[in-house]
Amino acid sequence: MSLIKLMVKGISYSHSQNGAYALILDEVEGQRKLPIVIGAFEAQSIAIAIEEEIKPPRPLTHDLFKTFAERFEIQLKQVIIHKLVDGVFFSTIICERLGVEEMMDARTSDAIALAIRFGAPIFTYKDIMEQAGIILSGEDAQENSQEDDVDDIVAQVEQIIEEDTKVDDYSGFNEKQLNILLNEAIENEDYERAAKLRDELNKR
């Protein structure tokens, strides 16, 4: 199965009603975006890694992991977002030490926070991109600045989340929207809403 290379487009600093952040990954050779709802701690860690001039007074957990890995000659080679189940993305990090590769399961937010620090590429599979990728609406999407582009995607995700809080019937949502909502509900430990969304996905 072919891999699609992704790059970090940006991360939302604005909260949705439920306090979630949206990490936006760009398809390198395409126009689709992959939005992933993440927690506040992971959002802060990724934001600090993106903004290289920001240096926390003490190392964050992901910084410590990188220092530890480098001390023992471990390199993170790549991250693969390999599965999407009930709105949750599953990732694998591939590391190398002394010519030997190892694969480890990781939360996607942690894997991306580490990939940025190591300068490692991020990939996903075609079927995941088809299932969860979105394209910005509007004819002028390609003319937007990077900041506006991220804001537009975040606004779309947050609009879906805001509309979701007003309804109990999810039959009007498509599968991509349901996956975004389910991911957001799980991140916020809203398991009652997550169960309803999972049931709707299982009907499809």
The verdict on residue 83 lying in a domain is yes
Edge-to-edge strands, sheet with 3-11? 33-38, 21-27, 3-11, 122-125, 74-85, 88-97, 100-107
pLDDT of the residue at 17: 42
**Same domain? 128 vs 174:** no
Tell me the C-alpha distance between 99 and 19, whole Å. Answer: 42
pLDDT of the residue at 203: 79
Q: What is the domain range of residue 188?
A: 168-203
Q: What mean pLDDT do residues 99-127 have?
A: 95
The DSSP output letter for 134 is B
pLDDT of the residue at 16: 46
**Are 32 and 56 in contact, with CB atoms under 8 Å apart?**
no
CATH code at position 105: 3.10.690.10
- Which residue, among 87, 77, 116, has the nearest Cα to 196 in the 3D structure? 87
The verdict on residue 161 lying in a domain is no
**Same domain? 116 vs 178:** no
**Same domain? 16 vs 87:** yes
**Same domain? 57 vs 117:** yes
The verdict on residue 172 lying in a domain is yes
**Same domain? 30 vs 114:** yes
Residue 19, sorted as left (phi over 0), alpha (psi -120 to 50) or beta, turns out to be left
Phi, psi of 125, deg, nearest 5: -95, 155
Taking only the tens place, the pLDDT of each residue in 29-79 is 988 999 888 888 888 899 888 887 677 788 889 999 999 999 999 999 999
The verdict on residue 163 lying in a domain is no
Taking only the tens place, the pLDDT of each residue in 73-105 is 999 999 999 999 877 899 999 999 999 999 999
